[in-house]
């Protein structure tokens, strides 16, 4: 009797604890979606080489977090920008760490992205049905380089200023659109207040917004399509079977209705 | 490979993952978490080395460079245009391609071609073979790309700017290039210098040469073998032979893109009228 009473109370407590989770699940399906994401199957030979993507994501999250903090103290105006950078680096508690992590995190982010790209290329992971995700990845790379270009001006020191002068002139050499882009970036006859404000806005609103959207799409497709096994794996998912093994699994037996229900019957 | 074969193979992949695969959590997540910790650790390490080996003074560089250089000064002229390291390969491409014929190849052409090729990878390589030894073209192509990006980045990183100590070379320039005589010829013929007496030739050339040496011109241009070749800038040793005239030189220095559309050169409009004239006479006398 006692045991059953306790279990009834236990059930009550359990229900109480689960109530908010069930409430969310009933109205959004987010809980089961998270479960499906976490407990989805990946090929069993997936290993360290396939961590470069998530490592890149980590570096990006570091950039987001440190960038938000920097934006609280940075002043995007030529009169005060340089002084605010000095203040962040030298005076602010842990300011050096936040700025240092943002500065060096950018380099780490770019390096990891290139390594991830190389891994995907060498694994042949851009092939059907993952072509679209390759294209999205290349767009992420381009946006990230633009993020680096726009961020480089913000400290407003000689190095960043003159590199940007030349960078904008390089933009101007592009045929047709080039001069317009250069004029838009400058926002005036000289690189000054308008330019800095534009670069700041692009660097912390437009480009990161685009990056977050594209990275979200990238991850959605990774989850939907799955990651490939290493090409050297003996037990790669989707490998060709030799005759004996295939026969054993019944995959070469003729199907009663041709290929008509190919999509359904294979996985049954 | 036919579409139906591709679909079959992907269906087989899905079935294999379902039947033989492991759960993303915790197995793959463990690897990802360890790797992420390493990444954050490396970033914090780099930030610490950068900060603790450098000083508060502008330009006081430690192992990983200074915290900042001097405050941006649009009117200063002794600068070194240098991008962040991951643009060094583009920066160095502009040493290979020269103004005016081919610089657009370096600024737009090659980067665009590279981007289009990168986007086209899945549509160029449509086979199903993934083992590296059976994909010689892909492997060789990727090795070539890695090597050329590496070399260009390295060359860009170690590229020397030519400005330092250039003033010492001025007497040599004037003597070797016969610049005073050249300037007398310019004064005699150039309509922009009407009213300037030939006696001023020596002084104008000297003043122009000093400005030339101090204004970071040699960061990008060559002159009598000194300086460097950045951003596609032309060799100025025989600039006077191009027949531009002093007024053209002044206009060009003030707003390079007005006389040379598409030039990468920054404006030197912060120089005074007299300084621009002296610099132009110096350039025109080099023949």
Give the global pTM: 0.86
% of residues, chain B, pLDDT over 90: 48
* Closest chain A CA to residue B216: A162
- A110–B86: do the CB atoms touch at under 8 Å? yes
Q: Strands, DSSP E only, in chain B?
A: 22-23, 222-223, 226-227
A149 touches chain B (CB under 8 A): yes
Cβ atoms B231, B102 nearer than 8 A:
no
Reference B157, options B232, B91, B234, B81; nearest CA is B91
Q: CA B242 to CA B102: how far, in whole Å?
A: 18
The CATH number of the domain holding residue A174 is 1.20.810.10
Mutate to test the interface with B, among A88, A148, A157 (most CBs of B within 10 A): A157
Structure token digits, residue B202: 């020596």
Residues of A in contact with B18 (CB under 8 A): 41, 267
Burial grade of B246 (CB within 10 A; 0-12, 13-18, 19 or more): buried
Q: Which residues belong to CATH 1.10.760 in chain B?
A: 166-285
- B68–A89: do the CB atoms touch at under 8 Å? yes
Q: What is the CA radius of gyration of chain A?
A: 26
Q: What is the DSSP code (8-state) at residue B65?
A: B
**Closest Cβ–Cβ partner in A103, A149, A158 for B70:** A158
B202-221: pLDDT as tens digits: 999 999 998 888 888 888 88
- Kindly report the nearest CA distance between residue B187 and chain A, in angstroms: 33
Structure token digits, residue B153: 């980045």
A62 touches chain B (CB under 8 A): yes
Q: CA B155 to CA B96: how far, in whole Å?
A: 11
What pLDDT does residue A266 have?
A: 43
What pLDDT does residue B249 have?
A: 94
- Report DSSP letters for chain A, one per residue: -HHHHHHHHHHHHHHHHHHHHHHHHHHH-HHHHHHHHHT-EE-TT--GGGGHHHHHHHHHHHHHHHHHHHHHH---STTTHHHHHHHHHHTSTTHHHHHHHHHHHHHHHHHHHHHHHHHHHHTTTTSTT-HHHHHHHHHHHHHHHHHHHHHHHTT-BHHHHHHHHHHHHHHHTSSTTHHHHHHHHH-SSSSSHHHHHHHHHIIIIIHHHHHHHHHHHHHHHHHHH-PPPPTT-TT-TTPPPPHHHHHHHT-SSPPTTTTTTHHHHTT-
Q: CA A112 to CA A84: how far, in whole Å?
A: 30
* Closest chain B CA to residue A226: B14
**Closest Cβ–Cβ partner in A44, A59, A161 for B72:** A161
Q: According to the per-residue pLDDT averaged within each range, which of A142-146, B2-6, B91-95 is highest?
A: A142-146
- A97–B44: do the CB atoms touch at under 8 Å? yes
% of residues, chain A, pLDDT over 90: 74
Q: CA B168 to CA B69: how far, in whole Å?
A: 26
What pLDDT does residue A246 have?
A: 53
Residues of B in contact with A233 (CB under 8 A): none
List the 195-214 stretch of A: residues with Cβ below 8 A of B: none
- Kindly report the nearest CA distance between residue B26 and chain A, in angstroms: 8
Residues of A in contact with B231 (CB under 8 A): 166
**Closest Cβ–Cβ partner in A103, A107, A172 for B262:** A172
Cβ atoms A161, B72 nearer than 8 A:
yes
- B274's enclosing H/E stretch is helix B273-285
Cβ atoms A233, B20 nearer than 8 A:
no
What pLDDT does residue A264 have?
A: 45
Q: How many domains does chain A have?
A: 1
Mutate to test the interface with B, among A74, A96, A98, A170 (most CBs of B within 10 A): A170
**Paired strand residues for B226:** B223
B117 touches chain A (CB under 8 A): no
**Closest Cβ–Cβ partner in A160, A190, A226 for B13:** A226
Q: B211: helix, coil or strand? A: helix
Name which of A220-229, B89-98, B129-138, B156-165 the model is least confident about.
B156-165
Burial grade of A63 (CB within 10 A; 0-12, 13-18, 19 or more): buried
- A105–B43: do the CB atoms touch at under 8 Å? yes
Helices B246-254 and B273-285, axial angle in degrees (round to 10): 120
* Closest chain B CA to residue A105: B43
B31-62: pLDDT as tens digits: 999 999 999 999 999 999 999 999 999 999 99
Q: Cβ contacts of residue A268 below 8 Å, gap of 6+? A: none
- B122–A127: do the CB atoms touch at under 8 Å? yes
What pLDDT does residue A155 have?
A: 97
- Kindly report the nearest CA distance between residue A201 and chain B, in angstroms: 20
Cβ atoms A91, A83 nearer than 8 A:
no
Q: CA B16 to CA A42: how far, in whole Å?
A: 9
Residues of B in contact with A167 (CB under 8 A): 83, 87
- B264–A166: do the CB atoms touch at under 8 Å? yes
Q: Is the residue at A88 inside a domain?
A: yes
What pLDDT does residue A260 have?
A: 47
Over chain A (268 residues), the average pLDDT of each successive run of 10 is 71 91 96 95 93 98 98 97 97 98 98 96 95 98 97 95 89 86 89 95 97 98 95 90 58 52 44
Burial B65-91 (b: 16+ CB within 10 A, else e): ebbbbbbbeeeeeebebbbbbbbbbbb
Average pLDDT, chain B: 89
Q: CA B96 to CA B233: how far, in whole Å?
A: 10
Domain that holds residue A213: 48-225
- B107–A105: do the CB atoms touch at under 8 Å? no
List the 86-125 stretch of A: residues with Cβ below 8 A of B: 86, 89-90, 96-97, 99-101, 103-108, 110, 112, 118, 121-124
- A237–B17: do the CB atoms touch at under 8 Å? yes
Q: CA A151 to CA A173: how far, in whole Å?
A: 22
Q: CA B200 to CA B198: how far, in whole Å?
A: 5
Q: CA B187 to CA B284: how far, in whole Å?
A: 10
**Beta strands A41-42; B226-227: pairing state:** unpaired
List the 152-171 stretch of B: residues with Cβ below 8 A of A: none
Cβ atoms B72, A158 nearer than 8 A:
yes
- Kindly report the nearest CA distance between residue B72 and chain A, in angstroms: 4
**Paired strand residues for B227:** B222
Reference A150, options A193, A188, A197; nearest CA is A197
Residues of A in contact with B125 (CB under 8 A): 124, 126-127
B153-204: pLDDT as tens digits: 998 888 766 555 677 888 889 998 889 999 999 999 998 888 888 888 899 9
Q: CA B247 to CA B155: how far, in whole Å?
A: 37
Number of H helices, E strands in chain B: 12, 3
B166-285: CATH topology is Cytochrome Bc1 Complex; Chain D, domain 2 (1.10.760)
Cβ atoms A136, A218 nearer than 8 A:
yes
List the 32-51 stretch of A: residues with Cβ below 8 A of B: 37-44, 46-48, 50-51
Name which of A197-206, B24-33, B100-109 the model is least confident about.
B100-109
What pLDDT does residue B167 have?
A: 79
């Amino acid at each position: 009797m006692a045991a059953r009473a306790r279990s009834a109370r236990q059930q009550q407590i359990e229900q109480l604890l689960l109530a908010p989770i069930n409430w969310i699940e009933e109205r959004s399906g987010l809980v089961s979606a998270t479960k499906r994401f976490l407990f989805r199957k990946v090929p069993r030979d997936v290993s360290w080489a396939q961590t470069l993507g998530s490592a890149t994501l980590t570096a990006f999250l570091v950039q987001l977090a440190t960038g938000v903090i920097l934006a609280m103290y940075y002043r995007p105006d030529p009169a005060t920008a340089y002084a605010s950078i000095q203040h962040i680096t030298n005076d602010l508690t842990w300011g050096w760490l936040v700025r240092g992590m943002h500065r060096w995190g950018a380099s780490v982010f770019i390096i990891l992205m290139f390594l991830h790209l190389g891994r995907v290329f060498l694994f042949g992971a851009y092939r059907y049905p993952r072509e679209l995700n390759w294209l999205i990845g290349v767009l992420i790379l381009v946006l990230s380089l633009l993020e680096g270009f726009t961020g480089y001006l913000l400290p407003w020191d000689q190095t960043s200023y003159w590199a940007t002068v030349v960078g904008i002139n390089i933009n101007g050499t592009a045929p047709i659109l080039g001069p317009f882009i250069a004029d838009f970036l400058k926002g005036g006859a000289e690189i000054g207040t308008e330019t800095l404000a534009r670069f700041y806005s692009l660097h912390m609103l437009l480009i990161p917004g685009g990056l977050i959207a594209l990275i979200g799409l990238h991850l959605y497709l990774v989850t939907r399509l799955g990651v490939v096994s290493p090409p050297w794996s003996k037990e790669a998912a989707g490998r060709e079977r030799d005759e004996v093994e295939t026969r054993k699994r019944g995959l070469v037996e003729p199907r009663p209705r041709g290929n008509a229900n190919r999509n359904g019957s294979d996985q049954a | 490979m036919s579409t139906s074969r591709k679909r079959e193979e992907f269906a087989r992949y899905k079935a294999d993952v379902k039947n033989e695969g492991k759960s993303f959590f915790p197995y793959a997540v463990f690897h990802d978490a360890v790797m992420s910790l390493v990444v954050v650790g490396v970033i914090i390490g780099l930030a610490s080395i950068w900060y603790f080996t450098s000083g508060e003074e502008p330009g006081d560089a430690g192992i990983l460079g200074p915290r900042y250089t001097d405050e941006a000064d649009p009117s200063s002229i002794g600068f070194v245009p240098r991008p962040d390291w991951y643009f060094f390969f583009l920066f160095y491409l502009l040493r290979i391609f020269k103004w005016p014929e081919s610089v657009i190849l370096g600024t737009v052409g090659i980067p665009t071609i590279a981007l289009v090729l990168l986007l086209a990878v899945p549509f160029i390589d449509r086979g199903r073979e993934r083992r590296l030894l059976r994909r010689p073209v892909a492997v060789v192509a990727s090795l070539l790309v890695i090597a050329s990006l590496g070399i260009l980045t390295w060359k860009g990183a170690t590229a020397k700017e030519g400005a330092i100590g250039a003033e010492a070379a001025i007497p040599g320039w004037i003597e070797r290039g016969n610049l005073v005589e050249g300037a007398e010829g310019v004064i005699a013929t150039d309509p922009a210098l009407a009213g300037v007496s030939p006696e001023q030739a020596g002084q104008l050339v000297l003043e122009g040469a000093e400005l030339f040496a101090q204004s970071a011109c040699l960061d990008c241009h060559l002159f009598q073998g000194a300086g460097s070749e950045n951003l596609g800038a032309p060799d100025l040793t025989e600039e006077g032979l191009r027949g531009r005239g002093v007024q053209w030189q002044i206009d060009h220095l003030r707003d390079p893109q007005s006389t040379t559309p598409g030039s990468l050169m920054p404006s030197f409009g912060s120089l005074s009228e007299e300084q621009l004239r002296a610099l132009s006479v110096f350039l025109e006398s080099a023949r």
